[in-house]
Amino acid sequence: MMAYTEKRVDTRADIDHEAKFKILSESDGAAGFGYESAKAKNISKGGLCLEVERKLIEGNVIRIELPSLGENKTIKAFCEVQWCRKGSADNNYEAGLSFIALREDDVNYLVDFIDNQNRAM
C-alpha cells in the first residue's frame, strides 16, 4: 500500500454544492462542448475537489462556476486539473483542481467563507 504525503497548504471546507465546468484545453478534442454539471465536494483559496461524470485529464485547463456559494456569490475561475480518480459514488470520478486565475475579491470571499464553514462545524 502506498503512503501519500499531504500537499495541501490551504485550509479547506467540505461543501456539497452544485457546480458547472467547461473544458478549455483537452487532448482528445472534447473541449468546446459547453458546460457540464459537477458537484463541489470541498474548496480552499487554492483549489477545489469536484465530483464529475467522466475522467478529466491531468493538466487540462477548465473554467469553473460555483453559483450562489453563500450570500448569492458566484465564483468563476480558471483551474488546472491536478489529479482525477475513480470516486466511491456511482460511477463518478473525483478531480482535484487548482485555481490558476481567481479574482482577488473572490479569494478574499473564499477565505471568509471557509473560515465560517469550519467554525460552524
Topology of 13-24+38-120 in CATH?
A: Thrombin, subunit H (2.40.10)
Burial (Cβ within 10 Å: 0-12, 13-18, ≥19) of residue 57:
middle
- pLDDT at residue number 70: 73
| pTM, two decimal places | 0.82
10-residue mean pLDDT series, the chain (121 residues): 52 89 72 82 92 92 87 88 86 93 88 85 64
Cell of 52: 464529475
Rg, Å, the chain Cα set: 14
Nearest to 57 by CA among 27, 29, 94: 27
- pLDDT at residue number 121: 64
- pLDDT at residue number 63: 94
Domain ranges of the chain: 13-24+38-120
- pLDDT at residue number 2: 47
